[in-house]
Amino acid sequence: MNPIQQFESERAERIEQLGQDLEFQAQSRDWLEQSMRRQYVYNFSWLGRPIIQNPIDMIAMQELMWTVQPDLVIETGIAHGGSIIFSASMLELIAACGGNPDARVLGIDIDIREHNKQAILQHPMSRRITMLQGSSVAPAIVAQAHAMAQDKPRVMVFLDSNHTHEHVLAELEAYAPLVTKGSYCVVFDTFVEDVPADVFDSRPWQPGNSPKTAVHQYLRSHGEFEIDKAMQNKLQITVAPDGFLRRVN
């Protein structure tokens, strides 16, 4: 075994051990809960635009995008634009390293506020971004996304809009089929299922009505996807436990 293989082997062993470390997992969930009570994820930006994401998950998304080298990334939920700017910048870096120079991001949101829209359009990464305004599960919006994904060899999907069970399940039915074999559909905020209901007392989602319940229902009838447990095991602190879905066939 050469030094690179040795390093990879040791890392895989550590990640497997983390998957069995119940005490550390509980500590990580506690920290995540407390951070959400303090709106911690609202503190960060990416290339000048607010990105409402946990920084640890941003590292995970970078790893996945480098592995998949997507030609198209579809994201539901735009908000201030930091996440689609992040994805576009990753595609820019991948292109600089020999990847697809024409790879694009499709961002979908039911309400793209004008000041955010203008800031995104004025950003240098906007040349890789297409935005659609409307419900992510509206037939016309879904049809446009499917048309854009047609003939793309590698497609990734990130779901991060309305986090109710019904809406996320509808998004999975609409967009997960576009994910290509070996790529990922990442469902954000599945952790809602694992924290007390009062963490989101002003929102319609809560334990029992969350992205994670939608994921588990979807997977019961869609064996082409599996949960990438290794990703959440190594992250520990993630808003997407059971939400990293890899297409295996």
pLDDT tens-place string over residues 164-213 = 999 999 999 999 999 999 999 999 999 999 999 999 888 999 999 999 99
pLDDT tens-place string over residues 26-82 = 999 999 999 999 999 999 999 999 999 999 999 999 999 999 999 999 999 999 999
Q: Would you say residue 155 has pLDDT above 90? A: yes
Q: What mean pLDDT comes out for the span 227-233?
A: 97
For residue 202, what pLDDT is reported?
85
β-bridge mates for residue 76, sequence order? 108, 159
pLDDT tens-place string over residues 87-105 = 999 999 999 999 999 999 9
Q: What is the CATH number of the domain that holds 89?
A: 3.40.50.150
How does the average pLDDT of the chain come out, rounded? 97
DSSP 164-224: SHHHHHHHHHHHGGGSPTT-EEEETTGGGGGS-GGGGTTSS-BTTBSHHHHHHHHHHT-TT
pLDDT tens-place string over residues 117-139 = 999 999 999 999 999 999 999 99
pLDDT tens-place string over residues 14-35 = 999 999 999 999 999 999 999 9
Number of structural domains found in the chain: 1
Q: Which of 57, 61, 31 is nearest to 44 (CA)?
A: 57
Domain with 141 in it? 3-247
The stretches of the chain forming alpha helices (DSSP H) are: 3-18, 22-37, 55-68, 82-96, 114-121, 139-149, 165-175, 211-220, 229-235
> 211-220 and 165-175 helices cross at what angle (nearest 10)?
50
In the 8-state DSSP scheme, what is residue 151?
T
For residue 201, what pLDDT is reported?
83
Residue 25 CA: distances (Å) to CA of 96, 194, 225, 235: 37, 12, 24, 10
Q: For 60-86, give one letter per residue: b (16+ CB within 10 A) or e.
A: bbeebbeebbbbbbbbbbbbbbbbbbb
What does pTM read for this prediction? Answer: 0.96
For residue 83, what pLDDT is reported?
98
